[in-house]
Amino acid sequence: MKAFLLLFILFFSNNSFAKDSIKTIATVNNKIITNLDISDEVKILEIFYPNAEKNYLYNLAINNLIDETLKKEEIILNNITVDEKIIIYEFEKFINKLNKDKLSEKNKKKIYNTIKTKVEWNKLISQKYSWKININMNELESTIKDKDNIELKENLINIEKNKKINIYSQNFLENLKKKSLIKITP
């Protein structure tokens, strides 16, 4: 019995579980962000910022996870859904730009969920602010030299709409942050 107890203690004292225990790093409106969530996010960020300092990636990961948590809450609150085909299309378009060998299945799933949140969030912002995302066609036409190029006009319209959506998105997210209970533990 003593030998079993000794083996039990040695196993758990040397086990990686004891070293890699799960810790709450932040809470966002009672949603928990753990050290494992941050670790997963940092692994993905390392793909995009291979030369960045660990501290920078850690802070960026926390901010990304806080933003994503707030966005998901608002998406659920507003019952926003997007056709799965759109999400798959955006995911495949994004993933084809990356070195797929560096991505584990877990990372691919995380990226898929992030893209899903982004697409749903953009739909939410478009619905909330559609009446403010008008483009001044006279201004746009004055910048175009080839007035008959319809494809160029459409591209410029999309660029201008995306700029406005990004502005409203950032403002809306900042307002959500002000209204939310966000706590980061040291």
Indicate the average pLDDT of the chain.
Answer: 83
SS3 81: coil
Nearest CA among 137, 120, 132 for reference residue 163: 132
- Judge contact between 65 and 107, C-beta under 8 A: no
Could you report the per-residue pLDDT of 9-55, keeping only the tens digit for each?
A: 444 444 444 456 999 999 999 999 999 999 999 999 998 898 999 99
Token pair of 41 as six digits: 């996010």
- Judge contact between 135 and 161, C-beta under 8 A: yes
- Judge contact between 25 and 62, C-beta under 8 A: yes
Q: Which residue has the higher pLDDT, 88 or 145?
A: 88
CA–chain centroid gap for 69, Å, is 9
pLDDT of res. 135? 66
Could you report the per-residue pLDDT of 141-159, keeping only the tens digit for each?
A: 666 666 666 677 777 777 8
Token pair of 125 as six digits: 């912002």
Least confident of 1-5, 70-74, 83-87, 97-101: 1-5
Residue 168: DSSP 8-state: H
